[in-house]
């Protein structure tokens, strides 16, 4: 195979990799997430689990629940949780 053809770049010889987009810290300041429907629904469904978490982890059960709901709603690993929680807290 000689390469590939795309509308965007035309002919791209084999072995040529596309430059990866870099994310600047400045662009992260403009992220705005507004979502409450799925989170509210999951909180409602998990009320029994929330009560158990509150019993065993009275100081941190809210954070545990927030991480779990963030993981499900945004389908992202816990590695990204710090950024998502920080952005949610700012809104």
> What integer is the mean pLDDT of 5-14?
83
Count of domains forming the chain: 1
For residues 72-86, one letter each, b for 16 or more C-beta atoms within 10 angstroms of the residue's C-beta and e for the rest, the string is ebeeeeeeebeebee
Q: Are 38 and 52 in contact (CB under 8 A)?
A: no
56 within some domain: yes
pLDDT at 44 > cutoff 70? yes
Of 11, 15, 31, the C-alpha closest to 23 is: 31
Q: Is the residue at 8 inside a domain?
A: no
Answer whether residue 51 is part of any domain: yes
Q: Is the pLDDT of residue 59 over 60?
A: yes
Q: Is residue 69 part of a domain?
A: yes
In a domain, 1, yes or no: no
Residue 58, pLDDT > 90, answer: yes
Whether this prediction's pTM lies above 0.75 is answered by: no
Structural domain contains residue 27: no
Query: Among positive and negative, which fits the CA dihedral 56, 57, 59, 65?
Result: negative
Quick check: is 59 in a domain?
Answer: yes
Domain of 75, in residue numbers: 34-91
- pLDDT at site 69: 82
In a domain, 77, yes or no: yes
């Amino acid at each position: 195979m000689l390469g590939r053809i795309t509308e965007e770049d035309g002919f791209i010889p084999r072995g040529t990799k596309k430059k990866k987009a870099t994310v600047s810290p400045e662009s992260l300041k403009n992220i705005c997430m507004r979502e409450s429907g799925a989170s509210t629904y999951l909180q409602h469904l998990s009320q029994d689990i929330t009560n158990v978490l509150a019993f065993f982890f009275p100081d941190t059960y809210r954070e545990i629940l927030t991480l779990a709901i963030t993981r499900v709603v945004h389908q992202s690993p816990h590695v990204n949780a710090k950024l998502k929680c920080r952005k949610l807290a700012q809104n």
